[in-house]
Amino acid sequence: MQPSDIITVNLWQIVVSLLNLVILFLIIKKFLYKPVKNILKSRQDKLDEKYTQADKYLSQAESTKTELDKKLNDAENKADAILNEATANAERRKEKIVGEARDEAESIIRQAKNQAELEMKKAESEIKAQIVDVSFELSKKLIEREIKEEDHHKLIDSFIDQIGDSDEE
Amino acid sequence: MDKEKNQNENTQNEITLKFKIIDILYIVMMIAPIVIAITLKVLFTPGGDGVNITGPLIYVRIPFALQDIIITEAQINSWLILITIFGVCLYMTHGLSENPTLKRQHFAEMIVEKAEALINDNMGDYYMSFTPFIMAIMAISAFSSLMSLFGLFPPTSDMNVVAGWSILVFGIITYYKLKCGPLNYMKEFTKPVAVLTPINIISEFATPVSMAFRHYGNVLSGIVVSVLVGSALQGLSRMLLGWAGGFIGSIPLLQVGIPAILSVYFDVFSGLLQAFIFAMLTMLYVSGAFDLDAFMEYKRKKQEKKNKKLKIKQTNLEEN
C-alpha cells in the first residue's frame, strides 16, 4: 500500500474520471434536473390554464354585464313610456269627462235660464194684463165719468210701459 | 365511521412512515460514502510525522495495455462522491409535488433555477441543455474539494481526475467548433494572420491543460500550504513546550484552531471558487467555440447546395 507520486499521469485514471463525470451528468439530468423541470413546467401550465380561464370568465362577466345593463336600460325606457302614456291617457280622459260635465252643466243652466225667461215673460204678460185689468177697474171706479174708456186705456198703457222700461233697466 | 377514520389515519401514517424510511435510506446513501472513505483512510494511511506530501494511495494495480490500471484513493473517493451526490439528488427530488410542502423541494427548485439563470447569462438560450452538465461539473468539483474538510484525500488534487474532466470539456468544445464544418474549423486557426497558425494550435491544446492544471494546482497548493503550516506549528509548539518534556512537551498547543482558519480558506473557499471557475470556463469556452450566426449561415449554404443538386438532378431527369 504505497502512495503514488504527487504528479503522475495515468491514462486509465483519466478515462475513469472522464466517465465519472459523464455518469454524474446522467444522474443529475435524470434524478434532479428532469423531475424538477417537469414539476416547474406542470405548475406553469396549470398557472397558465388558470389565467386563461380567469380571463375567459372575466370577459364573459363583462359581456353579461353589458347585456344586463342594456336590458335594464330598455326596461327603464319602457316603464317610462308606459307611465307617460298612462298619464297622457288619464289626462285626456279627465279633460273629456270634465268637458262633458261642463257642457252638461252649461246646457242645464241654459235650459233653466230659458225656462226662467219664458216663465218671467209669461208672468210679466200675466202681471201686465192683471195690472191693466186692475188699474182699469180701479180707475173706472175712481174717475168713471170724467174720462172716456179709450183715453183711460191709453194712459194706463203708457204707465205700464214706463214700468216695463224701468224693469228692463 | 370511526373505523374508516382509523383506517384512513393508518394508511396516512403508513405513507408517511414509508416516506420517512425512504428518506432515511437516502440520507444514509448521502452519509455512508463519507464514513466509508474515512474508514478506508484510517485503515490504510501509513502514519507519518513532519512534512509528508504524497499523491493518492494506490489500492489496486492491474497490469494492462499501455499503462497499468491503478485504483487509487482519488478514484475510490470520486466514486463515493458520485454515490453521495446521487443520494442528495434522490433526497431532494423525493416527494416532489405541484404544491410543495417540503423545504427540500424549494431548495431543489432554487438550484435548478439558479443554474439555468447562470447558463442563460453566460451562454444564451441555445445552450439550455447544458444546464445539467454544468450542474454536474460544479457538484463533482465542489464535493471533491470539500472532501478535505473530513481529512480525506480530495480527488481534485489528483491531476488525472481533473484532466479527465477538462478533456471531456475539450471534446465538447471541439465538437461545437466542428459544427460549422471541418473546413471552417481549419480556417479558424489561421484567423488573424496565417503566421500565427502554430501558436493557435498550441493555444487550442493549452485550453484543457490550463483548465486541468489550474484546478488541480489550486487544490494541491492548498494542501501543501496546510501541511507546511501544520508542521511549522508543530515545531513551534515543541519549541515552546518541549523543555517540559514528557506529556506536557507533546501537547500540540499551536495546532489547536489555527489550521481550522486555514482550512476555511483553502478547503471551503478555494474549493468552491475553483468549482465555480471550472464551470465558468467551460461555459465561456463552449459558447465562444460556436458562433450561432455562422452556424446558421453554414446550414443555409448547405441547404442551398442540396437544393441546387436536386434541381440539377431534376433538370437532368426532365431532359432525359
Interhelix angle B131-146/B73-93, nearest 10 degrees: 120
A3 assigned to some structural domain: no
Best of B133, B144, B157, B213 to disrupt the A interface by mutation (most A CBs within 10 Å)? B133
How do the residues of chain B divide into helix, strand and coil, expressed in percent and rounded to 5? 80, 5, 15
**Residue A148 pLDDT class (50, 70, 90 cuts):** low
Instruction: Report chain B's C-alpha Rg in angstroms.
Output: 28
The DSSP letter of residue B289 is S
Which of B93, B137, B163 comes nearest A35 by C-beta? Answer: B93
Identify each DSSP E strand in B177-225 by its residue range.
none
Scored b (16 or more CB within 10 A) or e, B301-312 reads: eeeeeeeeeeee
Instruction: Say what the pLDDT of residue B123 is.
Output: 87
Q: Which of B84, B219, B73, B95 is nearest to B152 (CA)?
A: B73
Residues in B closer than 8 angstroms to A46, CB to CB, are 98
Instruction: Say what the pLDDT of residue A74 is.
Output: 95
Instruction: Say what the pLDDT of residue A146 is.
Output: 62
B122 assigned to some structural domain: no
B40 assigned to some structural domain: no
What is the number of structural domains in chain A? 1
- Report the pLDDT averaged over residues A108-118: 91
Q: Does A105 touch chain B (CB under 8 A)?
A: no
- Domain with A28, as residue range(s), is 11-168
- Report the pLDDT averaged over residues A134-147: 71
Instruction: Say what the pLDDT of residue B7 is.
Output: 52
B17 assigned to some structural domain: no
Which of B64, B105, B165 comes nearest A21 by C-beta? Answer: B165
* Stretch among A8-22, A77-91, A144-158 having the lowest mean pLDDT: A144-158
Query: What is the SS3 assignment for A8?
Result: coil
B302 assigned to some structural domain: yes
Instruction: Say what the pLDDT of residue B4 is.
Output: 54
For B132, name the nearest residue in chain A, comparing CA atoms only: A29
Question: Residues 89-118, chain B: which have Cβ within 8 Å of A?
Answer: 89-90, 92-93, 96-98, 105, 108-109, 111-113
Burial degree of A66 (CB within 10 A; 0-12, 13-18, 19+): exposed
Instruction: Give me the residues paired with residue B57 across strands.
Output: A3
Specify the higher pLDDT residue, B25 or A145.
B25
Instruction: Say what the pLDDT of residue B1 is.
Output: 46
| A89-to-A76, A78, A85, A92, A99 alpha-carbon distances in Å | 20, 16, 6, 5, 15
B1 assigned to some structural domain: no
A4 assigned to some structural domain: no
**Could you give the CA distance from residue A163 to residue A110 in angstroms, rounded to a whole number?**
27
B25 min Cα distance to partner chain A (Å): 16
With an 8 Å Cβ cutoff, are A6 and B112 in contact? Answer: no
DSSP string, B89-105: HHHHHTT--SS--SHHH
Phi then psi for residue A147, to 5 deg, are: -120, 140
Which of B58, B78, B133 comes nearest A2 by C-beta? Answer: B58
**Could you give the CA distance from residue B26 to residue B30 in angstroms, rounded to a whole number?**
6
Q: Are the beta carbons of A24 and B79 closer than 8 angstroms?
A: no
| B195-to-B186, B188, B192, B270 alpha-carbon distances in Å | 14, 13, 9, 39
Q: Does A47 touch chain B (CB under 8 A)?
A: no
| B68-to-A121, B59, B193 alpha-carbon distances in Å | 166, 13, 44
Q: Are the beta carbons of A18 and B75 closer than 8 angstroms?
A: no
B318 assigned to some structural domain: yes
**Could you give the CA distance from residue B40 to residue B53 in angstroms, rounded to a whole number?**
18
Instruction: Say what the pLDDT of residue A168 is.
Output: 47
Q: What is the pTM of this model?
A: 0.72
For B166, name the nearest residue in chain A, comparing CA atoms only: A18
Widest CA span of chain A, in angstroms? 201
Give the pLDDT of chain B (320 residues) as one tens digit per residue. 455 555 555 555 556 888 889 989 999 999 999 999 888 888 887 665 556 677 788 888 888 877 888 888 888 999 999 999 999 999 998 888 887 778 888 899 999 999 999 999 988 888 888 899 999 999 999 999 888 888 788 888 888 899 999 999 999 999 988 888 888 888 888 877 888 888 888 988 999 999 999 998 888 888 888 888 888 888 888 788 777 766 776 677 777 777 778 878 888 888 899 999 999 999 999 888 877 788 888 888 888 988 888 888 888 888 77
Q: Which of B200, B185, B204, B219 is nearest to B285 (CA)?
A: B204
pLDDT for A38-78, tens place per residue?
Answer: 999 999 999 999 999 999 999 999 999 999 999 999 999 99
Instruction: Say what the pLDDT of residue A99 is.
Output: 94
Q: Does A159 touch chain B (CB under 8 A)?
A: no
What is the number of structural domains in chain B? 1
For B139, name the nearest residue in chain A, comparing CA atoms only: A24
For A32, name the nearest residue in chain B, comparing CA atoms only: B89
Query: Torsion over CA of B283, B289, B291 and B294, rounded to 10 degrees?
Result: -160
B207 assigned to some structural domain: no
With an 8 Å Cβ cutoff, are A13 and B75 in contact? Answer: yes
Specify the higher pLDDT residue, B183 or A94.
A94
For B73, name the nearest residue in chain A, comparing CA atoms only: A3
Instruction: Say what the pLDDT of residue A169 is.
Output: 43
Instruction: Give me the residues paired with residue B62 across strands.
Output: B69
B295 assigned to some structural domain: yes
B226-231 contacts, C-beta under 8 A, 24 or more apart: B226/B259, B226/B262, B226/B263, B226/B266, B227/B51, B227/B52, B227/B53, B228/B51, B229/B258, B229/B259, B229/B262, B230/B255, B230/B259, B231/B50, B231/B51
Instruction: Say what the pLDDT of residue A77 is.
Output: 95
Instruction: Say what the pLDDT of residue A81 is.
Output: 95
Q: What is the ipTM of this complex?
A: 0.84
A87 assigned to some structural domain: yes
With an 8 Å Cβ cutoff, are B98 and A33 in contact? Answer: no
Instruction: Say what the pLDDT of residue A156 is.
Output: 77
Q: Are the beta carbons of B115 and B142 closer than 8 angstroms?
A: no
Q: How many Cβ atoms are within 10 Å of B218's Cβ, its own excluded? A: 20
- Domain with B306, as residue range(s), is 291-320
